[in-house]
């Protein structure tokens, strides 16, 4: 079984709000004609925004490929995108055929006092062969968000 992961940072564009973003097409990467897609997990901070989404293929009750998609926005003057700090894929141990996916990104930002700081938004998305998904946890650094 082969899995593919991808952090999407290409195709940067300047939005009307002055933010930059990265995007890409899911069908360019996955080896199935109709991938399942999780709802996006979006976390927004001051000067930055992070979005994490998972796409996957399944055949015969088995997940055959997973793509982790990250898009980001930053104001460019206060915050900049550093990149993906960590990603993982692990089987759900309950025999359901599900997988837990994880991504943590990093933004470097100037704080109000002029010092450098970083923000690490992250999310766990669980996906199953039947097309179901859920987001059991998400957060920024050590703070878990509802």
Residue 141 lies in a domain: yes
pLDDT greater at residue 87 or residue 25: 87
Residue 6 lies in a domain: no
Record the tokens describing residue 88, joined without a space: 């993982």
Residue 107 lies in a domain: yes
Residue 67 lies in a domain: yes
Whether residue 24 is predicted with pLDDT greater than 60 in this model: the reply is no
Q: Answer for the pair 78, 110: CB distance below 8 angstroms, yes or no.
A: yes
Helix, coil or strand: residue 28: helix
Which of 14-28, 47-61, 90-104, 120-134 is predicted least confidently?
14-28
Per residue in 29-54, pLDDT tens?
Answer: 688 988 999 999 999 999 999 999 99
Record the tokens describing residue 41, joined without a space: 């997990």
State percent of the chain over pLDDT 90.
70
* Over residues 127-131, mean pLDDT: 97
Average pLDDT, the chain: 83
Residue 3 lies in a domain: no
Give the residue ranges of DSSP H helices in the chain. none
* Over residues 109-122, mean pLDDT: 90
Residue 8 lies in a domain: no
Residue 90 lies in a domain: yes
Residue 5 lies in a domain: no
Q: Which domain holds residue 131?
A: 13-145
Count of structural domains within the chain: 1
């Amino acid at each position: 079984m082969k899995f593919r992961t991808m952090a999407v940072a290409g195709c940067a564009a300047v939005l009307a709000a002055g933010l930059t973003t990265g995007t890409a097409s899911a069908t360019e990467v996955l080896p199935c004609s109709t991938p399942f897609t999780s709802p996006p997990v979006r976390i927004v901070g001051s000067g930055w925004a992070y979005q994490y989404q998972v796409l996957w293929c399944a055949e015969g009750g088995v997940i055959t490929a997973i793509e982790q998609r990250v898009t980001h926005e930053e104001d460019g003057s206060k915050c900049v995108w550093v990149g993906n700090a960590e990603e993982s894929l692990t089987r759900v141990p309950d025999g359901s055929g599900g997988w837990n996916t994880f991504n943590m990104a990093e933004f470097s930002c100037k704080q109000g006092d002029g010092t450098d700081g970083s923000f690490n938004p992250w999310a766990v998305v669980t996906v199953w062969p039947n097309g179901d998904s859920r987001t059991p946890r998400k957060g920024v650094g050590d703070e878990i968000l509802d």
